[in-house]
Amino acid sequence: MCYGRRAFPGGIILLRRLSLCILITTHIWIAAPLRACELALVLAVDVSASISSGEYALQMQGLADALDDPVIAHALVKGQTALTLVQWSGVSEQDVSIPWQRILTQQDVDEFARTTQELHRKWRNGFTAIGSMLDFAAPLYLAVPDCRRLVLDVSGDGIINAGVPTRAARDMLIAKGVTINGIAIDRRGDTVNQYFRSDIIGGADAFVIPTRGYADYVLSIREKLFRELIEPVS
């Protein structure tokens, strides 16, 4: 009970205790979904100079389409996933373009996908400072302490040419319990894929998905999300 025997002589005391009971109950009801967060996922999108306007649009559209996939959308909601999107390029060019959002309903999925489609590109002519992006991502997870798994997705089409070394930044994230996965976009050869494998990805069940160009990106991002959301709990 939220009130005791002493509450009855005074209507005001009873009202206050009842109000406190309602506030506590409401707080518990609201907070409960947050404790069930399965995954906190940072989507880090390369917007450096090597990414053309068309390729940027394809990345955003591909991500939105993947989020709208019924199987992936269901997994996002079931796991009460926390999502955020970061655009990155040069040493001081990192931006939380979509702040953390809890995916609790299909409407949340739709809103995140729509925001992704409409997202304004932050930079166009920057360098590729992947290590600096990894450093930038590390404190973002402090905002989602209730999530069981922490994952950073890195998509990119080049190797580092500015900023801090990637391996030290990667190892720091892994030490904090973050898994780093990647989509390595190789137009020719296997250079980016090999670089991602040696210097970027790491942590529990980490993987990289190579793709031979932006035409394959839509399928790659869907496969990546499927592996992160569904396979670990299947």
Mean pLDDT, residues 190-195: 93
Q: Per-residue DSSP letters for 61-81? A: HHHHHHHHSHHHHHHHHHTT-
* pLDDT for res 39: 97
Where would I find the H helices in the chain?
11-31, 53-68, 70-78, 106-117, 130-137, 166-175, 191-195, 217-229
Closest CA to 90 of 158, 2, 42: 158
CA–CA separation, 188 and 40 (whole Å): 33
pLDDT surpassing 60 at residue 129: yes
Pick the more confident residue, 24 or 199.
199
* pLDDT for res 218: 83
Pick the more confident residue, 24 or 47.
47
Sheet holding 39-46, edge to edge: 94-102, 82-88, 39-46, 149-156, 178-185, 208-211
Residue 166 near residue 131, CB atoms below 8 Å: yes
pLDDT surpassing 90 at residue 20: no
Residue in the structure block whose two tokens are 């990647």 = 182
Three-state secondary-structure class, residue 203: coil
Determine how β-strand 149-156 pairs with β-strand 94-102.
unpaired
Pick the more confident residue, 190 or 170.
170
CA–CA separation, 110 and 107 (whole Å): 5
CA–CA separation, 204 and 179 (whole Å): 6
pLDDT surpassing 90 at residue 34: no
Which tokens sit at 205? 């069940």
Closest CA to 207 of 188, 232, 187, 189: 232
pLDDT surpassing 70 at residue 9: no
Beta-bridge mates of residue 202:
180
* pLDDT for res 104: 97
Quote the distance between the C-alpha of residue 159 and its chain's center.
22
Distances (CA, A) of 18 to 9, 82, 178: 14, 34, 43
pLDDT surpassing 70 at residue 193: yes
pLDDT surpassing 70 at residue 62: yes
Per-residue confidence at 212, pLDDT binned at 50, 70, 90?
A: confident
